[in-house]
Amino acid sequence: MKLNGSEIIVECLKEQGVDTVFGYPGGAILNVYDALYKHSDEITHILTSHEQGAAHAADGYARATGKVGVCFATSGPGATNLVTGIATSYMDSTPVVAITCNVTVSLLGKDSFQEIDIQGVTMPITKHNFIVKDVNTLADTIRKAFRIAQEGRPGPVLIDVTKDATAAECDYVKETPKLIERKTESIREEDIDTVTEMIAQAKKPFVFVGGGVVLSGASEELARFVHKIDAPVADSLMGKGAFDNSDPLYTGMLGMHGTKTSNYGVSECDLLIAIGARFSDRVTGNASKFASNAKIIHFDVDAAEINKNIKTDACVIGDALEVLKRVNSKIGQLEHHEWIEHIKELKEKYPMRYRKDCLNGPYIMETINEITDSNAIIATDVGQHQMWAAQHYTYKQPRTLITSGGLGTMGFGLGAAIGAKVGRKDKVVINIAGDGCFRMNMNEIATATRYNIPVIEIIFNNHVLGMVRQWQDLFYGKRYSSTVLDDTVDFVKVSEGLGAKGYRVSSIEEFKAALKEAIELNIPCVIDCLIDREDKVFPMVSPGAAISEAFDRQDLENKNKNN
């Protein structure tokens, strides 16, 4: 049948099973929105307050559901407003398809009104991108974009369509999407044999888990692997929930704000097995001193990650689930009693300590964990609150922490929480924000209230840019340049003005009452938590130091006394 380009876009989205699109209309994309209007009973459109919010919402939807997130924007500033969200998805390997529209072919390259070369702009931050000028290539391009976004290492794909291509007609034939196959052709049996032998010989193995395990759906196979080889487990920020954080073998996050147990354990182990992790600088600290006593095995779907940041002794390239299945089939039950007992002693010696005589970030997260029974989806913005959310909530399942790990995008959390809630209506969804981050994305409260998307926004309000100030305090001689937010902005009034229920709390008792009521009300709510600006995220590794040099508040106090 003959359809115009806009109708083909909608039909192709339906082919792919898309049920929700986040976006913001404009002149160049009007034809598409007109077609979307006619299918509003099949595809829900969420009008965000800003295009960046749409990109973050599509990202959050994808992370929470495992499906492809979709966002729309018009040409020019509409398209460029997606850029930060696309880059966030790219850094964290999230499958997102962004569809933008541009001026007509005859106006391209002439500095026309709201014209931008969004394909050129996004080339470094997309897995692939396209510009469609001919309606006859549109359907195949959309199908290809969804396949690229999902296969191998996932990532964002952008499709830019000229306005005349959205209006032109051509024949459309419906197609059933091909099954996305796991990457197995690069898995070599000799590599499997090598790593299984190394694992069998190790006396002090340690497993490091990254976001690739979440993306591949390999959590159950990972648990079997860990218990088979009897090894402690640490995770990266992106790997949270890949391994049950309540398991006795779990030691906490690794790296700059990881636990001392994880950092010391990796520094002492004789074999480090990294699965679906990219050895970020925030994980390794001083790379030349990272896991210096260990041989290193790396499992990853992306060959480009092997030996990129840390030199490995062996590797297997392929989908994490498939790799773990093959390793598990070849390795017998191992026991490392002395090593596990040593790790247990480290956990007892270096617990995550925090004050319980006042409202603070760790106490808030522990309370959220208790009230939600470790069963909520936690989204975050970026900063101290993000690290407290990673450290003090028990993530038992994958896809329950939605956070910007690679790009560190302030303003990510609220849009992402909205997307996550749209995709997982069965879950309580809570966004953890700092007051600095909330200022960047508070307009998306209006999106939540417009559609009655019952997200709970919790602001860790210390009236400073917390993490930046922490660095100024520790490494810049307490010179607080542009990090103090002492002003008269009232977040409760702002939230209520945008249609949400607002709370302000200054004690743990007030917070408990507010959170329980917010969950029960099941409407958009904002809880403004007043905390001390002097609170810091510990443990911490100084820039340029080895992760074995992690210090906490007590270490800092002892050092200051000795000086």
| Active site annotation includes 163 | yes
122's tokens: 């996004």
399: left (phi over 0), alpha (psi -120 to 50) or beta: left
Catalytic one of 7, 11, 51, 322 = 51
Helix (H, G, I), strand (E, B), or coil: what is residue 253?
strand
Contacts of 514 (CB under 8 A, 6+ apart): 503, 505, 525, 527
Going across the sheet that includes 271-275, the strands are 250-253, 233-235, 205-209, 271-275, 295-300, 314-317
Contacts of 534 (CB under 8 A, 6+ apart): none
Going across the sheet that includes 525-530, the strands are 401-402, 377-380, 429-434, 456-461, 525-530, 501-505
Q: Which of 258, 208, 212, 209 is nearest to 92 (CA)?
A: 212
Task: Identify whether the C-beta of residue 461 lies closer than 8 Å to the C-beta of residue 531.
Answer: yes
162's tokens: 């000229």
Task: Identify whether the C-beta of residue 285 lies closer than 8 Å to the C-beta of residue 279.
Answer: no
- Alpha-carbon Rg for the chain in angstroms: 24
| Active site annotation includes 114 | yes
How far apart CA 433 and CA 410 sit, in angstroms, is 9
216: left (phi over 0), alpha (psi -120 to 50) or beta: alpha
Catalytic one of 114, 308, 510, 549 = 114
The torsion angles phi and psi of 426, rounded to 5 degrees, stand at -80, -10
Task: Identify whether the C-beta of residue 257 lies closer than 8 Å to the C-beta of residue 539.
Answer: yes
Task: Identify whether the C-beta of residue 136 lies closer than 8 Å to the C-beta of residue 170.
Answer: yes
Catalytic one of 163, 260, 347, 536 = 163
> What beta strand segments (E) does 414-524 contain?
429-434, 456-461, 501-505
The distance from CA 476 to its chain's CA centroid, rounded to whole angstroms, is 30
Catalytic one of 467, 472, 491, 538 = 467
Q: Which of 35, 3, 5, 7 is nearest to 138 (CA)?
A: 5
How far apart CA 31 and CA 42 sit, in angstroms, is 18
The torsion angles phi and psi of 408, rounded to 5 degrees, stand at 65, 60
The distance from CA 470 to its chain's CA centroid, rounded to whole angstroms, is 23
DSSP 371-404: HHTT-SEEEE-SSHHHHHHHHSS---STT-EE--
Catalytic one of 42, 113, 203, 220 = 113
Q: List, by residue number, the catalytic residues.
A: 51, 113-114, 163, 467
